[in-house]
Structure 1
Amino acid sequence: MAKKSIKIRAKEKGGVVTVKSLMTHPMQIGGQKDKKTGKPIPAHFIQEVNCEANGKNVMSALFSGGVSKNPYLSFKFSGAKKGDMMKLSWVDNQGNTDSAEAKIG
């Protein structure tokens, strides 16, 4: 995927960081037919999402074809402070990857 597919925000309050992210991805489960060509649409979905803060993995998630198009993901973790950098990345079932970094506010 050529352009960035992840929008991310992270805010710290009381020692807890809240992360909100939106990932642009088709999330096709496969098996449907293309209305124009009649050919089956192959499965194409995010399989794994990881988040690191200060080089430490703070969240991992496994997705499947059951997750909707352009998934929104929100989670909380502790152990980081304002100004620290964090990185969110994903890998899909076709080997595509993307990542985004954000400064914790």
Structure 2
Amino acid sequence: MARTLINAPTRARRGEVIEIRATIGHPMETGFRAGEDGKVLPRNIIQAFSCRYNGGLVFSAELFSAVSANPYIAFHTVATDSGTLVLNWEGDNGFTQTESISLTVLP
């Protein structure tokens, strides 16, 4: 399980634009770099990120080997209803990480 840090409001007014910021601890090895022993380190990157708000996709990104370690992603969405934001990272070697946060929408 990777370490994640998510910064998002827990409350917002209906129609308000909110910002979600997320980072995940991950080495993002390109598969081109040599290790201390001189052997090429195997590729190990996060390939995809998505965020669903009450089941509907609000943001997705395809990541590549040029992305730095511990990738940081920030995006905006509109607060429509109270519910759950589900953030999902997928990568090489069967890596998956899913985090959920609750959002309360006020009238």
TM-score range, shorter chain: 0.7 to 0.9
Q: Displacement of 1:5 after TM fit?
A: 2.7
Superposed CA RMSD in Å reads 1.7
CA distance in 2 between counterparts of 1:104 and 1:5 reads: 21
Counterpart of 2:3? 5
- The answer to whether the 8 Å contact 1:46/1:92 transfers is yes
TM-score (normalizing by structure 2) = 0.83
Pairing 1:1-105 to 2, within 5 Å after superposition: 3-11=1-9, 12=12, 15-35=16-36, 37-81=37-81, 83-104=82-103
Q: Displacement of 1:85 after TM fit?
A: 1.4
Q: Deviations over 1:55-75 (max 9, x none)?
A: 111111000010000011110
Q: Displacement of 1:4 after TM fit?
A: 4.1
Q: Displacement of 1:104 after TM fit?
A: 2.6
AA matched with 2:70: N
CA distance in 2 between counterparts of 1:94 and 1:30 reads: 13
- The answer to whether the 8 Å contact 1:5/1:98 transfers is no
| Structure 2 residues not aligned, in runs of 5+ | none
- The answer to whether the 8 Å contact 2:87/2:99 transfers is yes
CA distance in 2 between counterparts of 1:102 and 1:80 reads: 15
CA distance in 1 between counterparts of 2:76 and 2:39 reads: 42
Q: Displacement of 1:19 after TM fit?
A: 0.2
Q: Which moved more, 1:58-67 or 1:83-92?
A: 83-92
TM-score (normalizing by structure 1) = 0.85
Q: Secondary structure at the match of 2:66?
A: coil
AA matched with 1:38: G
